[in-house]
Amino acid sequence: QASPSARSFQLDYEHNCFRKDGAPFRYISGSIHYARVPRPAWRDRLLKMYMSGLSTVQVYVPWNYHETLPGVYDFTGNRDVEAFLDLTAELGLLVILRPGPYICAEWEMGGLPAWLLWKPDINLRTSDPAYLAAVDSWLHILLPKIKPRLYQQGGNIISVQVENEYGSDYACDYGYLRHLLGSFRALLGSEVLLFTTDSTQAEELRCGTLQGLYATVDFGPGSNVTEAFGAQRRVEPKGPLVNSEYYTGWLDYWGEAHASTSATWVARGLEDMLQMGASINMQYMFHGGTNFAYWSGADYKDQYKPVTTSYDYDAPLSEAGDPTEKLFAIRTVISKFQPLPAGPMPPATPKYAYGWVALQKYADLLDVLHVLCPSGPIQSQFPLTFEAVKQIHGFMVYHTQLPWDIPDPVKLGAPPHSICDRGYVMLQKEYQGTLERDGQTTLHVTGRAGDNLDILLENMGRISFGANTSDFKGLLGNLSLNSRPLSNWLIYPLAIDTAVQQGWPHTALPKSSSEGRVGPAFYTGTFETPGIAWDTFVKFPGWSKGLLWINGFNLGRYWTRRGPQQTLFVPGSVLHVGHPNNITVLELEGAPPTPLLLFLDRPLYNRTL
């Protein structure tokens, strides 16, 4: 390796290429999101990417994954981005870093922290001083960790993206991009190559590019490669051709068919671009991974479209990190242009079908509010949003009482777009049904004055792309009975993960639990591994919708009833060997009469809808 003083990574406008240490250079890269891969699997995934013939990996940094509350930072364990970057260097990979502050990535709120919405009138991704102050404070924490890892400093980061597809944002605020450019230069120095990425549409390239940032484009297989790079040439007449996001697959939304993209098609497009001398990053995705816990985002395309827990993406490396036919097709194309590393591709990780596990009902959710909300409820005349009570993820319960007798069914309803995102309605602890954003917003109920009305509100993930408004969660408007607003609410922000991570629920069943009742309830069970902790997939036969924790680790949402995803990926690293594994399920709508889970050695992504 060149000494730091001689190391350089630059644009050559005369010969339309990159120059690395003075020599012409072209990268073939793939994207991996460390936040979607458990830390024990990082090396396996990166090694497989290296053995595929990639010289480079592209990496997003999700701001909200690290600054969990204002001024509270987490770079430990799965969030240790420095350890991840050091591992890329150890394996001989270069890095293209995309630190945002906005990243999209179908990630909760596009990587922006939900606590920004505690100031309800904030204008995200603009020159709004409140937004810029938060961004600057974050960049002053993050970028000093990055600077010593830049190529010019002896590290392996060759370029850094500023913002992300900013041209697709309505604001088109050049002042914001200029501010970011100034901050990145001040914190990273004058030598690092800074760039932008936008679609090939003229309007998006107009708003997303800025002098001083090298403009690159993104497009997928099936595009006319000459035309697509022609769009880049209109904003960058000279310099290397770069596709920063070549789509190898596509994402899944709940309630739609599993997406797939032909390996032949992907390989053909890749070869066409490589023949033109272009640099390419295969994103979205080379390895997708999993939206554990509450990290999946949502798109807005005429309606709210939440993203599945699996982020398999039909990518060359599967959700579990296994090489696919698509990976070998890509590797064959790469071998025509540069030598592949010596040695075999590492094999698929071993999987184990642990079989059937019986669970038992532990308690209805409403019977354990004292555990899930130990500080007690917040009183309010009218409903408050998640943001108003500083709840980031998960669930809140809204409780009130019927103000008068209702002998005949009347309409319990919410104004349009005010259920964000699903509301599970209980009257006298009996489940009545579900209200849903962009779906059913009324139910008919009967009851007596003083009857308890509870709505469990679920946040399904904040919009990461497609809407230009802040995505507040909870009850955004007042519920009404026969058009008369309900008031006097008790609001319980639930800290379910805190309780589960501390070992709750403990084994004894509370006496109050009602066995047959449907609606939100917790189920528990245990299973032992036969001396091995291998990756596995859980199926939920007859279950409806909910969340799964194993040994306190939140594996994300299942939604068997809606699909297409039918299994959740369980990394072997969360399992114990030699003592029982504790399972906790929160089922929201109704478990089967005999609550069983089935552990398989393969995923089921595509239920026929």
Residues with catalytic function: 165, 245
Burial (0-12, 13-18, 19+ Cβ within 10 Å), 579: exposed
Burial (0-12, 13-18, 19+ Cβ within 10 Å), 508: exposed
CA atoms within 13 A on the CB side of 259: 19
CA atoms within 13 A on the CB side of 432: 25
List the helix and strand counts (H, then E) for the chain. 11, 37
Of 148, 170, 153, 174, the residue nearest 162 (C-alpha): 174
Tokens in use for 392?
């980031």
Of 255, 293, 292, 306, the residue nearest 471 (C-alpha): 306
How far apart are alpha carbons 517 and 367 in whole angstroms?
A: 12
Contact 293, 36 (CB under 8 A): no
How far apart are alpha carbons 112 and 480 in whole angstroms?
A: 33
**β-bridge pairing 17-20 and 9-12:** antiparallel
Tokens in use for 482?
């026969």
User: What would the 3-class secondary structure string for 90-139 be?
Assistant: HCCCEEEEECCCCCCCCEHHHHCCHHHHHCCCCCCCCCCHHHHHHHHHHH
Residue that has been written with the tokens 């009469």 in this structure:
593
Contact 567, 598 (CB under 8 A): no
